[in-house]
Amino acid sequence: MTEYLGLGESDAASRWIGIRRHQAVGVMLGIGLSGDWLLRGARRPLEGLLGLACLASALPLYAKMTGAEWVAVITRYLFRSFWVHVTLVTSAEGLQLSARGQTRFCGFRLHHRGRLDLAGQDHSLSNSLAVLLDAMSSADAAQHVALHVCRVEDEFVSVLSLPWGTTPPSVWLRSDSSIGEVIEINRAESSADLSFWLLERWSYLRAPERLLAVVRISDFSAARSDALLEAVQSGTSSQSVALHVHVVGTSQARRVAERAVHRHRSDVSAQGAVGFRRTARSERALERLREREVLVTSGRALLCVAVYVTVTAATRDELERAIEELERVANLSGLRCDRGRGRQALWYCFALPGGPGW
């Protein structure tokens, strides 16, 4: 829908009066506990500390994450297994991928000359994919589509993963073996079946003979929509770009679009009631939500989109330099990157073809 609505801030995180729900809960609990501690004659230090902890948990910290979110990330990182087993099995119907989740899909390789351009200049290719997504949205069940662009030796490889039984556009040819090329492990193997282990660290993954780090493009609001991923995809040969699209079913898409408009109107009314004025930013956001609701009602697909960039290197220093270069290029293009500290294994599984774990 970017062609119609323009890019804006992600609405994945539900907000209430400008803040997320867990922030509102933390602020209300913190004020309540701290106020009760101050007004009581016999003060209990534990109550005051809990109040301050609740208030601190609602404060935004690094990468737009609050204190409560960072506590949750660290806790999950410490108490889950650091080993991840990835298995890719080929069958007559297609591929089955297991990695902290299981998914079944078919792989298709783009038949093209030269480098695939994700900047929006190849209108015939992008329009054919848009038609495919609109057709998939007519089903009640949600479906997942992933587009991967990577460089194998001196050639760019573009691979599309679709659910079993889905017919791709004519320029995409069935090639399950190409899936092994976009996975950053054992590219030299000729077999389509793969099985390997990854060891998760705080900011990267350790694989056989190489290190990997997954970076998510978290903000597109300042990017030029006509050249969204052009600079990112044309980087060094040590990275690959994965564009994942989760197609929401028709009935759920309409409910989501309607609730989003209602929630935003309620937030604006609540802000006006306490004295905050309506800004141009809020007006534009409401306009985009209304346009999206109209398009969904007319049969357009409602999509959950995520972009992951997998960076590989032989050493920690090389990996860090490659990530810094990626962040520099992304920032110049108006994109914001998230390093995914404490979530590298999860993000690697999300970035795999088929999106296991979504």
Average pLDDT over residues 94-117: 79
Distances (CA, A) of 208 to 186, 187, 198, 313: 8, 12, 8, 11
Q: Compute the distance between CA of residue 186 and CA of residue 93 in angstroms, rounded to an integer.
A: 23
Closest CA to 226 of 138, 120, 115, 95: 120
Percentage, residues of the chain above pLDDT 90? 17
Average pLDDT over residues 156-184: 84
Q: What's the pLDDT score for residue 16? A: 57
Q: What's the pLDDT score for residue 1? A: 41
Tell me: pLDDT of 226 over 70: no
Q: What's the pLDDT score for residue 229? A: 77
Q: What's the pLDDT score for residue 188? A: 46
| Model pLDDT for residues 115-126, shown as the tens digit of each residue | 545 544 567 787
Q: Compute the distance between CA of residue 286 and CA of residue 265 in angstroms, rounded to an integer.
A: 7
Q: What is the pTM of this model?
A: 0.84
Structure tokens belonging to residue 249: 């079913």
Closest CA to 260 of 3, 9, 68: 9
Q: What's the pLDDT score for residue 345? A: 92
Residue whose entry in the numeric block shows the structure tokens 């006509």: 226
**pLDDT mean across residues, the chain:** 80
Q: What's the pLDDT score for residue 41? A: 60
In the structure, what pLDDT confidence band is assigned to residue 2 with cuts at 50, 70 and 90?
very low
Structure tokens belonging to residue 83: 């080993």
| Model pLDDT for residues 291-322, shown as the tens digit of each residue | 888 888 888 888 888 899 999 998 999 999 99
Per the model's pLDDT, the better-predicted residue between 182 and 271 turns out to be 182
Residue whose entry in the numeric block shows the structure tokens 């495919």: 132
Percentage, residues of the chain above pLDDT 70? 80
Q: What's the pLDDT score for residue 271? A: 65
Q: What is the largest CA-CA distance in the chain?
A: 78
Poorest-confidence range of 38-42, 53-57, 77-81, 157-161? 38-42
Tell me: pLDDT of 272 over 70: no
